[in-house]
Amino acid sequence: MNRHQLPTPALVVDAATLGANLAHMAVTLPGARCRPHVKAHKTTVLAQRQAELGHRAFSCATPREIVGMAAAGLGDDLLLANETVDDTRLRAMSDCEGRVTVAVDSSATIAAAARNGIREVLVDVDVGLPRCGCAPADAPRLADEARALGLEVRGVMGYEGHVYLFADRDERRRATEAAMELLLEAHRSVGGEVVSAGATGTYDLNEWATEIQAGSYALMDTAFAPMIPAFRPALWLETTVISVSARHAVVDCGLKALGMDHGDPEIDGGEVWLVSDEHLTFRPDEPVRVGDRIRVWPAHVDPTVAYHDRMHVIDGEHVTDVWPVDLRGW
């Protein structure tokens, strides 16, 4: 099938760009130095490509991702980099065929992990992003609680997601260092071999963590690409022009097909004006006709992928494969 024959809107992945992104990360952070985050693509076939390049430990955001990765034979070392107290989901993770570690940041999450058969945990530490994580000073107490309940504490994790506010690389590095000082302070008391942190945005800045939880690098998006030029956007939304006026044109994708939390998408050959439920309105640089194909580049790849049940892999203009986005849901 040719790309232009795809029903739209359709997720499309350029195989060559994806391959270059994966190869660059495999060289820069080989083996256990990178723990790819599958939340960015939710696709076991793509995860298998990462494993073939030496990245066999994975981060996951949901129990569904953990269970699905284990079922796909990718369960060597899976980390739920998130908290949960759901007994059913914790038991499903503990019962799956794989090594599963979960993040904990409270007595409640520790107790839930222990009573449902989870064997290994990381203490999640707040390093500046107002999300999950305990205060650094509380980390040793939580580690002691976990060990008292028979859990192995592998170490600590923390996510310096707030440092992406700094477009300047030097500022981003300083903010990363400050965040990692908090995490290392906790690690000195908690112990364990793992200091897990980072993301694509700090993959070449964070020299303090033992492993980097990079996700966006594989497919990349327009929000992060200017800050991390080593990785190029490999995924776009193939769309069709469905309406044309004297001032603007409309394609058949909208809020229900695009992650918009990082801003408007970009579009080949035009300026985005408005994105609504099922429509994207843009001003074309050159005249377009109804039926023309337009590439729409998402600003945030992770939620964009989660809206779709498959991605189409292309070589040139030819569709060579269709990968199910098989880790959607919770």
Q: What is the pLDDT of residue 81?
A: 98
Task: Indicate the CATH number for domain 3-11+230-324.
Answer: 2.40.37.20
Give percent of the chain above pLDDT 90: 98
Give percent of the chain above pLDDT 70: 100
**Is residue 48's pLDDT more than 90?**
yes
Q: Residues 180, 160: contact at Cβ < 8 Å?
A: yes
Same fold, 3-11+230-324 and 30-212: no
Query: What is the CB neighbour count within 10 angstroms for residue 235?
Result: 21
Separation between Cα atoms, residue 228 and residue 226, nearest integer Å: 6
Q: What is the mean pLDDT of the chain?
A: 97
Q: Which of 91-95, 164-168, 279-283 shows the lowest mean pLDDT across its residues?
A: 164-168
Nearest partner of 255 among 281, 234, 232, judged by Cα: 281
Backbone angles phi, psi at 234, to 5 degrees: -110, -10
- The burial of 317, by beta-carbon neighbours within 10 Å (0-12 exposed, 13-18 middle, 19 or more buried), is given as exposed
pTM: 0.96
Nearest-5° Cα angle at 156, 87 to 303:
65
Which residue(s) pair with 76 in the sheet? none
Q: What is the pLDDT of residue 165?
A: 80
What integer is the mean pLDDT of 45-56? 98
Domain borders along the chain are 3-11+230-324, 30-212
Q: Give DSSP secondary structure letters for 139-195.
A: HHHHHHHHHHTT-EEEEEE---GGGGG--SHHHHHHHHHHHHHHHHHHHHHH--SEE
**Is residue 133's pLDDT more than 90?**
yes
| Each residue's pLDDT tens digit, 57-79 | 999 999 999 999 999 999 999 99
Q: Residues 113, 104: contact at Cβ < 8 Å?
A: yes
Q: What is the pLDDT of residue 34?
A: 98
| Each residue's pLDDT tens digit, 213-248 | 999 999 999 999 999 999 999 999 999 999 999 999
CATH classification of 30-212 is 3.40.50.620, yes or no? no
- Residue 167's pLDDT band (cuts 50, 70, 90): confident
